Each structure stands twice: as structure tokens, then as C-alpha cells.
Chain A
Amino acid sequence: MTDQPPPPRPASPARKTAVRAAQAGINIIWLVPIIALVVTLGIAWNAYAGRGEVIEVEFTDATGVTPGETALRFREITVGQVEGVSFTADLSRVVVRIRVDKDVAPYIDSDAAFWIVRPQVTAQGVTRLDTVLTGSFIEGYWDATVSAPQDRFVGQERPPLVRSDTPGTWVTLAMENADGIGEGAPVLYRGVQVGRMENLRLADTEDQVIADAFIEAPHDKRLTTATVFWDTSGFSLSLGASGVSLNVNSLSSVLQGGVAFDTLVSGGQPVEPGHVFALQPDEDTARNDILASDNAEPLRIAMLIDDSLRGLEKGADVQFQGLRVGQVTDLAVTADQETDKIRQVVTMAISPFRLGLPAEATPEDALAFLQEAVADGLRARVASAGFLGTSLMVELVDIPDAAPALIDTGAQPNPIIPSVPGDLEDFTASAQGFLSRIGNLPLEEVLRSATDMMNSVTAIASSEDTRAIPESLRQTLDQARGAATDIGGMARELREADTAANLARLVDEAAAAAEAVKLAAADAPEMVDSIDAAAAAVEEFNFSEISAQAEGILADLRAMLGSEDAEQLPRNLSDTLEAASGLLNDLRDGGAVGSLNDALDSASTAADQVAASVQRLPQLIGRLEATAARADSVLASYGDRSAFNTEAVNMLRELRRATEAFGSLARLIERNPRAFILGR
């Protein structure tokens, strides 16, 4: 092997290759990794620089938020993505980490608002139904100004109703209570929605509810300091002189409430954002609230009153020359230090404009005007107002002979206008008297009596007896007429007889006595006794013929008087018969027996006729009695006759009048049934 030539040596040792490689210059191929590195680093830097900034937004819950998927959108363009979701330290809220694109990140500052967009069903409609398909996303809103960046936000529970960049004006509405007004309630101007209400909340200091109202441009130009707002929530039902009126606004305002505004007086100043308006309960109030509608500052002035102010309320009118110039704004009590009297302080707000001063008049101008007027005798006084005079108002009236007085301009807090006592007592007294009279009316008794009377009348009217009355009356009258004819004939015969004067008087008296028959009923037996005595005296009379005649007469008379009916003959008849007895005595003593015979003959005839007629009289009387008894029994049921009768007659007259009134009302309703419901 040693013979063999040594193997050929390499041209250069391998080690030298390495050395040479180390010593060799930089090959151009190294540009490739350098370029690759530069490109990669460039991409990396680009990715890093463009990956945006992380902001954190707190939500109470993160419904539908998925890390890595849920997007942050601004004007419906995705500008970021949720990177992670975690909790706050107390686990009460969810913190959503959002990577926001670099180009919009600077704009996300303190004015940014975030909310989770989900499908919404409200009174205004259904919105964001697309999120049902795509899943909810976070929407953000911020303005175009760049201010101090912020990376921690508190998300809103629901989308803001008005985006912060919407042109318009925010004003504040203050109201007594928020009945019927909901979040997002529309703000209407002449029925057109021009804004929304938001942030309904309780005022911190006052017992009020305040809300922010947003009026979109350009409608916010219609807002001035003289603008009035009123509540249009729900519907209103009013019953007044003009009938029933039902006012319903849009269905939305029924569900959600709403407010409307109008500028009733021109010349108001443009409002600054945040201007506070008082929300009036309804449109009428708003339109009548002159303090709200007048743009000028009202003059506040007070008056002192000794009298009770019952009936005077806040908001009562202040009238001047019969026109409203202001209203009572406050009622208070003050103790007069000097006289130690308690006095009422009525504070009023008076519109200078309404006093007739120029529109730009200030309260000072109004005060000067009133000072002059007071010097001329203007005084304030409380007067009654309203239909029944139960409410009060303040009047500024000229009292020509008033004691000189001036406005106490130095009084605090408001100047005091001199006042005169109003006609309050008179008013109070008359009103009280009026009311007490009304209260004292025995309405219940009257009604009860009326009811009883009606019942009795009904009972009587329906009874058979009552129905028989007319017929009986007619019969009675017929018989009475017949009796009167008989009596007339008899009297004529008696008158024709020469010696019948006494008898005629006797019969006349008997006829007169018949009128009081029933009063003498109790005395009838005595009368009969005396008649008997008279008859006995006649029997003792010796003139047989006369006696026989007289006996005939007396027998007739006895027959007449012995009858049941005759027992009720009056005492006057008894007196008359006593006189007759006296006459017979005279006759017995007298000597003209022969002529008496004739006279007695005719008297007997007359007596026969009288007896015949008298025999019919008891029937008449009995019938009259029966009728009277019935009438008695009828009337007896009404208690005290005369008083009740009067009242009943009055009552019936009233009833008739009432019936007539009912009749006319019924005719009116017949003609125009709507009038009953709607008034005229």
C-alpha cells in the first residue's frame, strides 16, 4: 500500500473552505431575508399599529355579546370588536372589552355613549328586528370633536332616543306629577311630533318631576321664553255648558303620554338650552296661564286683608276693569306688629302687558302705573267670582271716596297695594243664608206628605164610592132644586096669604135653620120636648076646631119632627117652634077666632105643604150629610184640613207646573234628542 502513490490531495483543505467562507464578502442573497424581515416587520408593525385601542364599557348585562364576534358599530359601520367580557370587582356589572379601530378611537371621549342593540318593541313600534338574525351588537355614538381620550365607559341600558349630534334644543320641563307621561313621549307642536321626552326623574330639591325634552331643529326656533307646554297624555273628558267633550290625541299619546307646546305671545326671547318650562296640566290651563304666556316679568305685589279668605285660592284671577291682569300666586298670614292683628297677605303677580302697558314694560313700569292709579283712588279688594259666588278673586277697583293711600313700596318682599274691605261678609251671609234656606227646606216631609197624598188620592179615586159621588151630587142637586122649587111655591103661597107673615117668617127661619141642621143634631131631643110642650099647650086650647086644626098641624109637625131625620133639626128650628108656640098662645089669648080659623085653614094647608116638602128635606139633608161625611172621611185622611188643603192646592199647582215643565222638556227631547246629551 506504501507503493501506491498517495491519494490526490484536495485542491484546498476543507477547513480552508470554512475560513474562506467566513472571509468572503457578503453575498447578495442576504438581501432576501433582510427584505423578508423588513416586510414582516412592516406587516407586524402595521398590524400592531392598526389594531386599535381597547376601551371598556360596563353594562348591567351582556345579552348576546360574544367575545370575538360581537361588533361595535358606529352609524351601522363596524368599527370595533368585542375582545372579552368580564365582571366588575363586585360582580354587579359586566365589563365588555372592545377593540376599537384606530381611526375612530380618538373620537371616543367623554361624550361617547354605548348601548347594546337588541330587538325592541315599544309603543312607537318594533325596531331592530335585524338583530334577531345577526345577533345583537354594541352600538356607540360620539361626536366629531376630539377631546381627552377615555377608555372606561358606562353603557346605557337602552338606545338614547335622541343622538347627541342631532341638531335641536334640550329644554327642561317641570311638572307636578308624571301621570301618563312615559319615557320617549312625543313632543308635539300643533300635532306634529317635533321632539321627545327623556330622563323622567324626580327633582332633587322640589316636589316636582322634571324631564328633558328635545326639540329637533328647526322646530326649536319656535321655542321662546313665552312658550307654554302642556300635557296631552291620555284623553280628557270634560262636561261643561257646551256638553260633553272628549279629547283624544294620538294613540301613541294615550299609551305613552306626550306634551305639546305653543308660543301664544310673540316677542319672547330665544331660549337657552336647559331652559325650564312649567308643564301645564292641560291646554286650557296653558292658554289661560297668562304668567306663562307673557314673556315679561310680572309685577309681584301684595295686599293685606283682615277678613277670612276662604274661597280665595292660588291662581285666582286678579281683575282690573273687569279683565284678567294677573293671578294670585301666594296666600300667607302675617302678624301686624303694631296692632297685633293677624292679617292675610295675598301676593299677586300682575302682568304689565295686561295692564295696558307696552309689551316691553318692566315690573317697575307697572308699579309706577299702579302708584298713579292708587293715588287716584284705585284699591284692591276681594270680590266674589263664579256662578254661585263661592270662589273669590281680587279686584282692582276705583273707590272714588277712598281714604288717601299709597302703595307701600318699601314693604318686603313685595310692595303692598292699599286695599278696601270687600263685600265678603254680605256675600258670605247671603250665600250662607241661601244655602241654609236650601238646607232647611223640609224636602223630605214635603215629599213624604206628597207621597201620602198621592197614595190617598189614588185610593179614593179608585174606590167605588168616589166614582159614585158625581152621580149622587147630581141627584142631590136635582132634589135640592126640586125642594127649592117647592119651597119657593110654598113661600109664594104663604106670602099671598094675608095672615101668613109670621108663618112665612117661621118658614124662612126654618129654611135658614136647615142650613145648620147638623150642628143642632144634639139639641134635637130637647127641641122635640119643647115642641111636645107646645103641643100640649095647644091641646089645652079650648077651641075645638082650632084645636083640631092645630092638632092636625101639630100632628103633621110631630110626624115631621118625630121622623128620624127631624131629630137632627137645628136649634134654630126649635126656637122658631117656640116662637110658634108663643104665637099659638097669643092666638089663644086673642079674640079673632073666626078669622083665625080661616088663617089656620090656610096655615094647615101651608103646613101640609111644608110637611110634604119637609118630608123630602130630610132625604136631601141625609144625602147632603152622607156626601159631607164622605167628604169628611176623605179630608179626614189628610189631617188638619185647612192647612193641608192649602198646601195640597199649592202642591198640586206646583205639580202642575212641574208637569208642564216636564212636558216642555219632553217636547224638547222629542224634537231634538241630541240636545239632552249635548246641551243645546
Chain B
Amino acid sequence: MTPDQPVLTAHRAGLVGCRSCGRVWPVDRETCDRCGADLVPPDRRGLQKVWAWWLAGLIMYVPANLFPMMRTQTFAGLQGSTEATILEGVVELIHYGNYDIAIIVFVASVIVPIAKFLSIAWLARVAGKPATVDQAQTRLKIYEVVEFIGRWSMIDVFVVAILSALVQLGFVASIHPGPAAVSFALSVAFTMLSAQSFDPRLIWRGLPLRSRTDDTGQD
């Protein structure tokens, strides 16, 4: 297949791909004979799920940043308890000079989720829209990255969970998860669901019938 050739997609070939195992079947098939999954033709209506999970994740991301992530209690609260949100924690880490950890936390807890939100929103927005093959491949790459990296956003939640479990020194010090931990975990989960709800086949739906070079050739 030369770049000049229009891309033959399954849809154009009158086929439908199984989302479980990837085998293509004729459009009129209902179930995949290989894995038994239902064969669903790509449909922009499925994007509703993406948007719904995305919105839920976005909503949960707000309290995740406003509420304290973790509550540190020393001397049974006599010395005072410290509550820190994600960003406060980052600032505090910078304050203490732990720049590397601060960067990790910042990337995992702030940059990655926000990038995910932006990526999913953009993918859902442009899904099914006309695109060149290159554009479609870029979208596919982004989708794969989002899919892959989504679970790593949970690193912050894991840290809190592990610390809460480990640092229970009774009177001296104890760490409890704050309300933001739950919110953040939910936010990450929702965005992962959102990313999973996204049907990557839609990326290919918007490909032009003629190659881009044809268009340029006509010009």
C-alpha cells in the first residue's frame, strides 16, 4: 500500500473488527466466532460513554486537588496534625529539598492526569472527523499512550495507601488518607474507564476516501 493509495479500512471493506481479539468479520455478523464477544460496529454514540467517564473523572479530580491527600498526626495530635493537598505536598517536598520526589509526585499526580484529560477529550472530539492517515496514526499513538500510562497515575494513591498502612506508630505518629485520596483514585479510575470506552476504530472512520496526495494532485 503506497501512501498515495487510499487506506482500506475494515469499514470500507464491509467488515467489522472484534474489539476483543481483533479478528474481522463481515458487517452482518453479530458475534465473534473466535472469542465469542459481541461484534459492535464502531459508532460515535459510544463516545457518550467516553465523555461520561471523562466528565466523572474530571469532577472527581477537583476535590482530589482541593482536599488533603494525607493527614499526618504526631504525638496523637498534640503536636498538631498536618494535612496537605497534592500540590501542597509537592511544595512541601520542594521546600524540604526533595526535588526528585517532588517531580515524580508532580508528574504522576498533576501532569499525567491533566494530560490524560486533555488527550481523551481531544481524541473523543476528533474521533470520526476527517483526518489524514498521519493524523490518524498520531491519534492512535496518543490513544495507546493514554491507555498505557493511565494506571501509573495511581502512584500517588498507592503511596498514600502504603504510608497509611505502614506509618501507624500509635502515639508518636500516624498517617491517614485524606478525602482527596479517594477522589483521586476515583478520578484515575474514571479516566481509565473513559480511555477504555474510547473505540479506537473511530480513529479510522474519518479517513478520506482519497489519499491526501490525490487532493494535493488536484490542486
Which residues of A approach B to under 8 Å, CB–CB?
A: 7-11, 14, 17-18, 20-21, 24, 26-27, 29-30, 32-33, 35-37, 40, 43-44, 47, 66, 68-71, 78, 130, 133-135
Contact = CB atoms under 8 A, between A and B. Distances in A.
Given A21-B47, A44-B66, 10 more contacts: A8-B12, A11-B11, A14-B206, A24-B48, A27-B45, A27-B48, A33-B59, A40-B62, A68-B80, A78-B77
Q: Provide the main secondary structure of the chain A interface.
A: helix
A35 B130 CA distance: 34
B59 A69 contact: no
A27 B52 contact: yes
Contacts of A17: 42-45, 128, 205
A33 B12 contact: no
B91 interface: no
A7 B10 CA distance: 12
Given A27-B49, A36-B190, A43-B63, A8 B44 contact: no
Contacts of B56: 32-33, 35-37
Contacts of A10: 11-12
Interface residues of B, number: 41
A133 B78 contact: yes
Interface of B: 6, 8, 11-14, 27, 41-45, 47-49, 52-53, 55-57, 59-60, 62-63, 66-67, 75, 77-80, 128, 130, 179, 183, 186, 190, 197, 205-206, 209
A33 B47 contact: no
A407 B59 CA distance: 97
Contacts of A8: 12-14
B43 A134 contact: no
B14 A36 contact: no
Contacts of A7: 6, 8, 12, 209
B12 A40 contact: no
B89 to A, nearest CB: 15
Nearest to B27: A11
Nearest to B204: A14
A87 B60 CA distance: 39
A24 B46 CA distance: 10
A613 B63 CA distance: 155
Contact of B49 (A29, A70, A71): A29
Contacts of A43: 63, 67, 179, 183
Given A7-B6, A8-B12, A29 B48 contact: yes
A14 B53 CA distance: 23
A28 to B, nearest CB: 9
A21 B190 contact: no
A299 B6 CA distance: 126
Contacts of B197: 29
Contacts of A71: 80
B206 A134 contact: no
Contacts of A44: 63, 66
A27 B53 CA distance: 12
Nearest to B187: A36
21 contacts: A7-B12, A11-B14, A14-B130, A17-B42, A21-B43, A24-B45, A27-B48, A29-B48, A29-B53, A30-B52, A32-B52, A32-B53, A33-B53, A33-B55, A36-B190, A43-B63, A47-B179, A71-B80, A130-B78, A135-B79, A135-B80
Nearest to B28: A11
